[in-house]
Amino acid sequence: MKIVVIGGTGLIGSKLVNKLREHGHEAVAASPNSGVNTVTGEGLAEAVKSASVVVDVSNSPSWEDAAVLKFFETSTRNLLTSEAAAGVGHHVALSVVGTDRLSESGYFRAKIAQEKLIKESSIPYTIVQATQFFEFLKGLADISMVGDKVHVPHALFQPMAADDVATAVGRVAVDAPINGAVEIGGPEQFRIDELVKRRLASLKDPREVIADPNALYSGAKLSERTLVPGNDARLGETRFETWLTQPAAQIPSAPQSTVNKEKESQKKAS
Ligand SMILES: NC(=O)c1ccc[n+]([C@@H]2O[C@H](COP(=O)([O-])OP(=O)(O)OC[C@H]3O[C@@H](n4cnc5c(N)ncnc54)[C@H](OP(=O)(O)O)[C@@H]3O)[C@@H](O)[C@H]2O)c1
C-alpha cells in the first residue's frame, strides 16, 4: 500500500517511514527536503497520486503564534484538497494529548485549527494524540530557564519514547479510519519537574530544577491532569529507565531548531 508521510524526514516521520517499509509498504517520505511543500503546494499533487493513506507528522518551522497557525491551517487545507483530488482513503495526523485543554497557547490553538479542518473535511481520518516525547525533556529544560534554574510545572504527565509514537502511528495508518481521535501515551506517569530532574541527572547536567506553580507549558497554565491521557489511551512499552539505556537517550540536546522555536513561542507568550 502506498503511504505518504508528510514530515517524513522529522523525528517521528523518519522512524515511521522505516517501520512501514519493514512491513512491506511503499512509504514515501515527503517534506521540503524531498521537494514536497505543503504550505506552497509544491510537489504535493504528484506525491499523493495513487496513495491509499497520507500521514501528516510535519511541524511548523516557527512556533510564533501567527506563523504556527498559518502553517497548520494552510498546510492542512492544501493536503486535504490534494487528497480529495487523488482519492486518498485515509488521512492520519499526529496531534497532542490535551490539545483542546491548551487553547491559551498559540501553538495549541494551531493544533486545534488543524484538527478542526480534518474533522470537517470529506476525507476519512484518524487523529492520533500523543503525549510528550522523552526526546523532548532536555529541550523542555532549555526553554524553561529563569536565571540559571529550570522552572517547570509540578503537574502530571505521561511521556513516551518517539519510537513508540512511530509504532502506534504506523498501526493506525494501516488500519481503517475511525473518523475520530485515539490517544497514545507512555506506560508511566510522572511529575514534570521530577522527570526533567532525572533526565538532566542522566546527562550529568548540573542545573537545578524548580517545581514552579506559575510556570507555563508552551504558554498555557496547566492543571494537575491537563497533559494526562484518558483511560482508553494505547500505551507504549518503553519505560523511562529503559529508554535512558538506548542510543536515543545519549543525544544530549533537542535539535536546536526545536529550542529556537520554543523560545520564540515563549517570548510571545510572556
Ligand atoms: N514534541 C512533542 O513532545 C510532541 C508530542 C505530541 C505530538 N507532537 C507532534 O508531533 C508532530 C511531529 O513532531 P516531530 O518532533 O517529529 O517534528 P520534527 O522532527 O520537527 O519534523 C518536522 C517535519 O516537518 C517537515 N516540514 C516542515 N515544513 C514543511 C512543509 N512546508 N511541508 C512539508 N513538510 C514540512 C520537516 O521537513 P524538512 O526536514 O524537510 O524541513 C520535518 O520532516 C508535530 O505535529 C507535533 O505537534 C509532538
Cβ(94) to ligand 1 under 6 A?
yes
Contact 52, 25 (CB under 8 A): no
What number is the average pLDDT over the span 259-269? 44
State the Rg of the chain over Cα. 18
Report whether pLDDT(268) > 70.
Answer: no
Using the atom order of ligand 1, give the atom closest to the CA of residue 97.
6
What number is the average pLDDT over the span 191-211? 97
Place 210 in a pLDDT band, splitting at 50, 70 and 90: very high
Per-residue pLDDT reduced to its tens digit, 161-173? 999 999 999 999 9
Cβ(29) to ligand 1 under 6 A?
no
Per-residue pLDDT reduced to its tens digit, 46-90? 999 999 999 999 999 999 999 999 999 999 999 999 999 999 999
Residue with cell 497532542: 96
Instruction: Please measure the distance between the N-terminal and C-terminal CA atoms of the chain and give it in whole angstroms.
Output: 46
Q: What is the pLDDT of residue 247?
A: 86
Residue in 15, 18, 58, 105 to alter for ligand 1 test, most ligand atoms within 8 A of Cβ: 58
- In whole numbers, what is the pLDDT of the chain averaged over residues? 93
Q: Which residue has a Cα nearest atom 39 of ligand 1?
A: 9
Per the DSSP assignment, residues forming a β-bridge with 72 are: none
How far is the C-alpha of 215 from the C-alpha of 269, rounded, in Å? Answer: 12
Task: Please give the model's pTM, rounded to 2 decimal places.
Answer: 0.94
What number is the average pLDDT over the span 228-247? 97
Q: What is the pLDDT of residue 258?
A: 47
Q: How does 211-222 read in b/e, with b if 16+ C-beta sit within 10 Å?
A: bbeebbbbbbeb
CA of 136 to the centre of ligand 1 (A): 13
Q: What is the pLDDT of residue 269?
A: 39
Q: How does DSSP assign 177-204, residue by residue?
A: P-SEEEEEE-SS-EEHHHHHHHHHHHTT
Cβ(32) to ligand 1 under 6 A?
yes
Residue in 57, 77, 152, 259 to alter for ligand 1 test, most ligand atoms within 8 A of Cβ: 57
Contact 260, 139 (CB under 8 A): no
- Lowest average pLDDT, out of 4-18, 39-53, 126-140, 243-257, goes to 243-257
Q: What is the pLDDT of residue 18?
A: 98
CA of 59 to the centre of ligand 1 (A): 3
Q: What is the CATH number of domain 2-269?
A: 3.40.50.720
Cβ(7) to ligand 1 under 6 A?
yes
What number is the average pLDDT over the span 114-123? 98
CA of 258 to the centre of ligand 1 (A): 10
105 contact partners, CB below 8 Å, separation of at least 6: 216, 217, 218, 219, 220, 265, 269
Q: What is the pLDDT of residue 252?
A: 66
How far is the C-alpha of 201 from the C-alpha of 195, rounded, in Å? Answer: 10
